[in-house]
Amino acid sequence: MAGSRSLSPGLRALQPEAFGADPSGERLARIRRSPHFKDGVFQNPGGPARTRPSGSALDFARVYFDKDSRSRRAPAGTIPVHATTLADLARPPATGLRLTWLGHSSVLAEMDGQRVLFDPVWGERCSPFPFAGPKRLHPVPLPLASLGPVDVVVISHDHYDHLDMPTIKALAGTDTLFAVPLGVGAHLEHWGVSADRLRELDWHEATEVGGLTLTATPARHFCGRGLRNTQHTLWASWVVAGAEHRIYHSGDTGYFEGFKDIGAEHGPFDATMIQIGAYSDFWPDIHMTPEEGLRAHLDLQGGPAGRLLPIHWATFNLATHAWADPGEGTLAAAHAVGAPLALPRPGEPFEPTAETVPSEPWWRGVALAPAGGWRPLVEAITEAKADTERDIPKGAAEDGETPDAVPAG
């Protein structure tokens, strides 16, 4: 796909501010020098990835508007958000590492005396418009102003459910630094973040913040916010390493063999935060299923070690699977291979290396139960183990197909 030219000045003046800004000047020159930029666009590891739904629009519409499946794409009750308080965050983590999943891909990591905020989205909708687009299924666990000082904000890519203009504008008024993939800094500068607070990285580049080393690592996804996507902003996963701890945030990504390389170079990790939601057979190259997310975790760790925190689910309705499926699938897949899992409610702080972490399937209390009720966990584990033993050693599903998710109903 060739890159598109920028909008004319007249049309640019009419576009929503949330569209951000295209890279230009030295930033654009640096993008064009990147070894990962070719033929006018950034290239994915593992070859081209389909960034639009595959199959016919009619097939997609049939699935999307199916009455029964639509009713299952949202919780049937109120999501049990943990109202994070100052008291929760005032105590230093006893182990030196504490994670607070704030919903979707937003995570506060308190690590070796520093505070890192991944993909903060406090907005009501992940959309350029305040009146349309996917709306939150649960409130933010605490006001942004109550979060306290943040040393560095890390952005994985520029999609609306990861880069939220109102949140960035609020953080622009603080003294936090921003670590972003190459090109994304243009959006942040457009919204008031000064250039001296940006750490803009290509894959495999690193920056130091308060004793932490932040490294942008490959991911298999795409970018874009406006009507004409120039494909000039990079997407990334992130490694954060301190004196005592290491963590990994996947951002959005399809499964690819590069997880093994990332793990070999930067792991193992005390915790991985892995995207396991908003997957579909219509876009198998750019989002992982729960089974693929578990496989990525195992690749990164070299086996069932460290703690897996499932992210990119429960907060927004962005795919056609049932709302509870990512949680159910991840629970079964992790138990099938003995991989330690953390299942906090949104806003519930936990320490990944502590003896106990949240581990109950809290979503079952508010999801629309499948026909016949929830399957006993042992049955789900047996099925997931069979899938895992077949798929993971091969590094791919049989016959080149995407493995099915463990269904919740």
DSSP 8-class letter at 184? T
DSSP state of 301: H
Distance, in Å, from the CA atom of 373 to the CA atom of 326, rounded to the nearest integer, reads 17
374-to-30, 260, 319 alpha-carbon distances in Å: 52, 34, 21
Angstrom CA distances, 144 to 126, 223, 372, stand at 17, 26, 41
CA nearest neighbour of 278 among 18, 46, 53: 53
The residues, any chain, with a CB within 8 Å of residue 288's CB and separated by 6 or more, are: 250, 253, 254, 255, 274, 275, 276, 279, 296
- Please name the residues in contact with 143: beta carbons below 8 A apart, sequence gap of 6 or more: none
3-state secondary structure of 120: coil
CA nearest neighbour of 330 among 283, 281, 273: 273
Quote the pLDDT of residue 43. Answer: 94
Q: Which residues contact 238 (CB under 8 A, 6 or more apart)?
A: 118, 154, 156, 179, 214, 215, 216, 217, 248, 249, 251
DSSP state of 135: B
Q: pTM (2 decimals)?
A: 0.89
Q: Indicate the DSSP class of residue 315.
A: S
Backbone φ, ψ for residue 216 (5° rounding): -80, 125
Residue 76 to residue 92: CA distance in whole angstroms: 36
Task: Convert the pLDDT of each residue in 146-174 to its tens digit.
Answer: 999 999 999 999 999 999 999 999 999 99
Tokens of residue 348, six digits: 């519930």
Q: List C-alpha distances in Å: 204 to 129, 158, 182, 320.
A: 34, 19, 11, 34
Q: How many residues does the chain have?
A: 409
Q: Which residues of the chain have pLDDT under 50?
A: 1-5, 7, 10-11, 393-409
Q: Say which DSSP state 132 is in.
A: S
Beta bridge partners of 153: 117, 178
Q: What's the pLDDT tens digit per position in 10-33? A: 445 557 999 999 999 999 999 999
Q: What is the pLDDT of residue 372?
A: 82
* Number of neighbours of residue 142 by Cβ within 10 angstroms: 22
pLDDT of 409 reads 26
Q: Is the peptide bond before 92 cis (omega within 30 degrees of 0)?
A: no
**pLDDT, tens only, 98-136:** 999 999 999 999 999 999 999 999 999 999 999 999 999
> What pLDDT, on the 0 to 100 scale, is given for residue 396?
38
215 with 149: CB under 8 angstroms? no
The pairing of strands 97-103 and 41-42 is unpaired
Amino acid making up residue 74: A
Percent of the chain residues topping a pLDDT of 90: 76
- Token reading at 305: 């070690």
State the CB neighbour count (10 A cutoff) for residue 70.
Answer: 13
pLDDT of residue 87: 87
pLDDT on residue 381? 63
**Strand 177-181 with 212-217, pairing:** unpaired
**Bridge partners for 349 per DSSP:** 100
| Euclidean distance between CA atoms 380 and 336, whole angstroms | 9
Q: How many CA atoms lie within 13 A of 246 on its CB side?
A: 14
Residue 43 Cα distances to 53, 154, 409, angstroms: 19, 21, 37
Give the count of beta carbons closer than 10 Å to the beta carbon of residue 150: 20
Q: Which residue has the tokens 């099915």?
A: 404
Reading the block at residue 21, the tokens are: 């800004």
177-181 and 246-249: which strand pairing? Answer: unpaired
